[in-house]
Amino acid sequence: MQTIRQAAMAGTFYPEDGQVLIAHVHSMLHEAARDLPPGSTAPAPKALVVPHAGYIYSGPTAAMAYARLLPLRYTIRRVVLIGPAHRVPVRGLALPDVQSFVTPLGRVELDQPAMNKLQGLPQVVVSSAAHAQEHSLEVQLPFLQAVLDDFNLVPLVVGSASPAEVAQVLDAVWGGDETLIVISSDLSHFLSYGEAQRVDRNTVDHILGLQEDLGPEQACGGAGINGLIHAARTHGLQPHLLQLCNSGDTAGDKARVVGYASFLFSATEAE
């Protein structure tokens, strides 16, 4: 068994120098925190949906969700992180065969007991290949390292899986206030600016309506979002849109854009 999954996207999706990286992440979080309602009493999130493109494209949108975790720095001790398989076909959900993930900000230990528990489910496999070059999980880690104090990680790459299969995995590690669920997903890919706005608005409406029918053309991490929605309906969680934009609004041209959104799921309506 391997012990460490090394950072594969440092220097491409985000800065590889640790000091530059943490300064960049803190800057995005600071800007996002400025937009939070003053004196907000919004309930703590149980789950987040965040994008996973390069930080210059989707980092500020992700920061809008991660800034909500700042008051929970010492409460959240485990993060269940689910992202789509971009490079290796996966049937079901795949765990890695390592004990920790490493970024330029340091090591994140994996929750081995929770992972062992999940391996008892028929839709869960172990695949080092599925995780080795997968960016959808890795780009979330520096944000989590910046906003949380000490946490363990349960990382899963999802391929072909039904909402019920994903929800069963989430239920197995649902936990209490110490456990946060993060679903990594971008929205539409390579549409024109106006068409992307139309398609992504429809996708947002589906998520806010707790409709677990997203396809990959709407969200590359649709399987993970559908599973979260399935679980949210069971556990009484409500979704709240934090930000919606696309790469044409950030660092790209408007001829072919990628859509980004961040959501918070909580037990009661968020502010």
Confidence of residue 44 (pLDDT cuts 50, 70, 90): confident
**130, part of any domain:** yes
**What are 99-113's pLDDT values in tens digits?**
999 999 999 999 999
Let me know if residue 253 belongs to a domain: yes
pLDDT (0 to 100) of residue 183:
98
Structurally, the chain folds into a number of domains equal to: 1
151-to-4, 58, 125, 267 alpha-carbon distances in Å: 16, 24, 23, 22
Asked if 96 and 5 touch (Cβ cutoff 8 Å), the reply is yes
**Is residue 113 in some structural domain?**
yes
Tell the burial category of 205 from Cβ atoms under 10 Å away from its Cβ (0-12, 13-18, 19+). Answer: exposed
Q: What is the CATH number of the domain that holds 215?
A: 3.40.830.10
Name the residue range of residue 158's domain: 43-266
Residue 187 within a domain: yes
For the CA atoms of 52, 55, 58, 64, the dihedral, rounded to the nearest 10 degrees, stands at 100
Residue 97: is its pLDDT beyond 50? yes
pLDDT of amino acid 41 = 55
Tens of pLDDT, residues 128-183: 999 999 999 999 999 999 999 999 999 999 999 999 999 999 999 999 999 999 99
Kindly state whether residue 236 falls inside one of the protein's structural domains. Answer: yes
The share of the chain scoring above pLDDT 90, in percent, equals 93
Which region among 34-38, 50-54, 240-244 has the lowest average model confidence (pLDDT)?
Answer: 34-38
What single-letter amino acid sits at 127? S
Decide the pairing of beta strands 47-50 and 93-95. Answer: unpaired
pTM value is: 0.96
Average pLDDT of the segment spanning 234-246: 97
Task: For residue 172, give the 3-state DSSP assignment.
Answer: helix
pLDDT of 256 above 80: yes
DSSP track, 22-86:
HHHHHHHHHHHHHTSPTT--PPPPSEEEE--S-HHHHHHHHHHHHGGGGGGTTT--EEEEEEE-S
Element of type H or E holding 196 = helix 193-208
Please give the angle made by the CA atoms of 206, 164 and 188, to the nearest 5 degrees: 35
Nearest Cα to Cα of residue 184 among 5, 48, 9, 45: 48
Q: What is the pLDDT of residues 208-232, one digit of tens each?
A: 999 999 999 999 999 999 999 999 9
DSSP 84-146: E-SSS--BSEEE-S-SEEEETTEEEEB-HHHHHHHTTSTTEEE-HHHHHT-HHHHTTHHHHHH
The number of beta carbons lying within 10 Å of the beta carbon of residue 41 is 6
